[in-house]
Copies of this chain bind each other. A is one copy, B any other.
Amino acid sequence: MIVLDRVDKVESIMKRRGFIWQSADIYGGLAGFYDYGHLGTLMKRKFENLWRKFFLGLDSNFFEISTSVILPEDVLKASGHFDHFTDPVTKCKKCNFVERADQILEKQLNEKFEGLSKEDLNELIRKHNIKCPKCGGELGEVSEINLMFPVEIGPYSKIKGYLRPETAQSSYINFVREFNALRKKLPMGLAIVGKAFRNEISPRQGVYRMREFTQAELQIFFNPEKADEHKDWEDIMDYKLRLMSVSSRDKVREMSCEEANKELELPKFYVFHMAQIQKFYIDILKIPKEKIRFFELSKEERAFYNKLHWDFELETEGFNGFGEVAAIHYRTDHDLKLHQKFSGKSQEVFYDEEKFIPHVIEITFGIDRNIYALLEFFYGERDDKSVLFLPPKIAPFDCAVFPLVKKDGLDKKAFEVYNKLRKYFVCFYDDSGSIGRRYARQDEIGTPLCITIDSDTLKDNTVTIRDRDTKKQPRVKIGELKDKIEQFFENT
């Protein structure tokens, strides 16, 4: 008998029940690409909507835009991606195996080397006498490879473009237009929830490092002179953040926002948004605080455009420990300034009685990683059966409706109830198999409530509502079902 471990069990549910699997799998699959089935799509949409509600709700001047994924080369030359969005690669001189140099080192020396220069990596390879992990041959010089997918636009007079490596650039190049279309006020936030693309050398760990993925990013434009203030600072100044700073990589320190501002010299406007990210995971996604932390990246590790860079990490087995699911970057005026220079169009605004280029704080989430992490995190077992104890607000279905048996008019009545409820809730109808099996099938995909129509229903118009977690099945009048379900979701 094969005993599956936890990660395998979750992946089996993901594939078998309709969450996530590798793209084009009837053709052998495409490395780094994933498709969402009907359950994954419902859950992803719920996650995205919770994200929108939470982060766009932080300010009445935060809005979403939705933009093309193909960008002309000009934009990416200006942003620096054309020159700097690279990974260091080495090729075995004997067997031609190609891999990221930092990842070869990481595996063999059990240490992180992301962000080192190719010179440093070459030196480390020589110093530690690192060989090809496949054949033991000698590794060639490390070179830089650009990770963007080029696209040629137009059939003859080709214009060079790229699939965007991050959604952020589309917010920057639309900044002035939106500033004018909106209130002409700062702070202003532009969010994009959409696809981004990176031609990874070696995609790995399932959805952790994908070549096509969905980001939810929010660019907040603000007056740099007001970086050390936020209108709602008092609401969060005593809120405790879980921080692993560059100066304290051995352990997480709990620190109030006030302390983070003073001791770590992080500006209040930045700390305020760190607190919001942590609140999103603890209050909305119900992750216990010991499973999360902010991880600061050093100057060498962080992306070329960031002055401050803290990853937000979540601990799961599938990530082999803590893995990045979100991040907050202080990008300053880096991008707007370069777009001004390259496009020749002013990116200055007149606000607070002065003229200046705003600074940007970026909040960025990898949606796919989050979906995976949540599925694995809330996976559990009860009576030898799998149960996804997902927070009800991100479970694919809000509720399922069953007739106890498929006769005596129970199925007709159940379908009526289903048709009534589906106007308000994401609802699944199921009439096949024993009632016990139907409950188990819904437990396995995390459905928080199952409504069953039985012979009493025909007498007194009541149904049972079974709670996934308590397994209790109180009876409720059909006329009160909508309110009861709404209340249940409001209280979770």
Distance of A34 Cα from B178 Cα, bound (Å): 15
The A interface, classified by DSSP as helix, strand, loop or mixed, is mixed
Asked whether B70 lies within 8 Å of A33 as measured between CB atoms, the reply is yes
Asked whether B212 lies within 8 Å of A75 as measured between CB atoms, the reply is no
CB distance from A473 to the nearest CB of B (A): 23
CB distance from A418 to the nearest CB of B (A): 7
Instruction: Check A68/B178 contact, CB under 8 A, given A24-B75, A57-B422, A199-B154.
Output: no
Asked whether A177 lies within 8 Å of B21 as measured between CB atoms, the reply is yes
Contacting residues of chain A (468-485) with chain B, CB-CB under 8 angstroms? none
Residue A71, interface by CB 8 Å? yes
The stretch of A58-66, A257-265, A299-307 in contact with B is A58-66
CB distance from A69 to the nearest CB of B (A): 7
Asked whether A33 lies within 8 Å of B68 as measured between CB atoms, the reply is yes
Interface flags for A60-89 (1: CB within 8 Å of B; 0: not) read 100111111111101100000000000001
Closest residue on chain B to residue A430 by CB atoms: B183
Residues on B with beta carbons closer than 8 Å to the beta carbon of A66: 35-36, 40-41, 44
Distance of A183 Cα from B211 Cα, bound (Å): 32
Closest residue on chain B to residue A52 by CB atoms: B45
Q: Which of B27, B30, B98, B182 contacts A343 (CB 8 A)?
A: B27
Residue A25, interface by CB 8 Å? yes
The stretch of A121-129, A155-163, A216-224, A281-289 in contact with B is A155-163
Asked whether A23 lies within 8 Å of B195 as measured between CB atoms, the reply is no
Asked whether A70 lies within 8 Å of B345 as measured between CB atoms, the reply is no
Asked whether A161 lies within 8 Å of B74 as measured between CB atoms, the reply is no
Asked whether A35 lies within 8 Å of B199 as measured between CB atoms, the reply is no
Residue A134, interface by CB 8 Å? no
Interface flags for A1-40 (1: CB within 8 Å of B; 0: not) read 0000000000000011110010111110011111111111
Asked whether A26 lies within 8 Å of B343 as measured between CB atoms, the reply is yes
Residue A104, interface by CB 8 Å? no
Asked whether A26 lies within 8 Å of B153 as measured between CB atoms, the reply is no
Interface size class of A (residues with CB under 8 A): 35 or more
Q: Which of B57, B155, B173, B339 contacts A145 (CB 8 A)?
A: B155
CB distance from A471 to the nearest CB of B (A): 25
Asked whether B24 lies within 8 Å of A173 as measured between CB atoms, the reply is yes
Distance of A212 Cα from B70 Cα, bound (Å): 8
Residue A174, interface by CB 8 Å? yes
A-B contact pairs, 16 of them (CB 8 A): A18-B177, A18-B182, A27-B343, A30-B72, A31-B154, A33-B70, A34-B68, A35-B65, A35-B68, A36-B66, A37-B174, A38-B63, A38-B64, A38-B181, A41-B66, A91-B156
Residues of chain A at the chain B interface (Cβ within 8 Å): 15-18, 21, 23-27, 30-42, 44, 57, 60, 63-72, 74-75, 89, 91, 98, 145, 149-157, 159, 161, 163, 170, 173-174, 176-178, 180-183, 190, 195, 197, 199, 201, 211-212, 339, 342-343, 345, 415, 418, 422, 429-430, 432
For the complex with contacts A30-B72, A41-B65, 10 further pairs of A-B residues with Cβ separation under 8 Å are A18-B178, A21-B177, A24-B74, A26-B173, A30-B159, A35-B66, A38-B181, A39-B181, A68-B212, A91-B156
> Which 6 A-B pairs have CB atoms at the shortest separation, nearest pair first?
A38-B63, A18-B181, A35-B67, A33-B68, A26-B343, A36-B66
